[in-house]
Amino acid sequence: MNLSRNKIRGNAIAAIVVGAALLAAGPLALADDTSRSAGETLDDTTINSSVKANLSGNDEVHARNINVETHRGRVALIGYVRSKEQHESAIVTAEETKGVVEVIDALLIVKEKRSTGRTLDDQTIETKLKYSLTDVGADQAFAMVTEVRNGEVLLGGFVESEEVKKRAAEIAGYVPGVTKVHDRLAVK
């Protein structure tokens, strides 16, 4: 019975997310990515919402720690999971979602919880990181998903070129407090 409630809740969340995305998208938002048509952007929004809903409905995965980005049916899962089993379950869940043509694995396994002080330090590093990444272009910087855990940076999402990908990883490595960079960016 509990599984049924989670599936119903997941479907309800998906419907709300899709509806909100469609309302927010409007004609201008659908046309803002010159590498995709308005139809492709709408398809990606639907796929993205479906993957998020399916992850939310999966009791094995802590979906709130996973960001989902989609470009032309390619889905990037970005974030943290607590075990190899959660990692595999998240990937399989995304792969089985209708419309997904490829899953880009940008998930890291992190078992320990952070202290409040460490969390605040990581948030400070992330703020500095986002500011520093504007050197590759503000639009590119804010399109990237960045996460910081224990001083380690996770870069994920889609960028315009290999040059932007390489430059972002270099910049991240120079941010004070960063101990390691996990570059999981994908080129559109």
> What pairs with residue 74 in β-bridges?
71, 102
Average pLDDT of the residues in 68-80: 95
Q: Which residue has the higher pLDDT, 150 or 22?
A: 150
Span 70-90, average pLDDT? 95
CATH number belonging to domain 116-187: 3.30.1340.30
CA separation (Å) from 149 to 8, 32, 107, 183? 32, 32, 12, 14
pTM value? 0.76
Burial class (CB in 10 A: 0-12, 13-18, 19+), 105: middle
pLDDT digit string (tens) for 126-161? Answer: 999 999 999 998 888 888 999 999 999 999 999 999
> Looking at the chain, which residues constitute the CATH 3.30.1340.30 domain(s)?
116-187
pLDDT in tens, 36-69: 788 877 888 999 999 999 999 998 888 889 999 9
* Nearest-angstrom CA–CA distance, 159 and 104: 13
Express as a percent the part of the chain with pLDDT over 90.
66
Average pLDDT of the chain is: 85
Task: Render pLDDT for 87-105 as a digit per residue (tens, 0 to 9).
Answer: 999 999 999 999 999 999 9
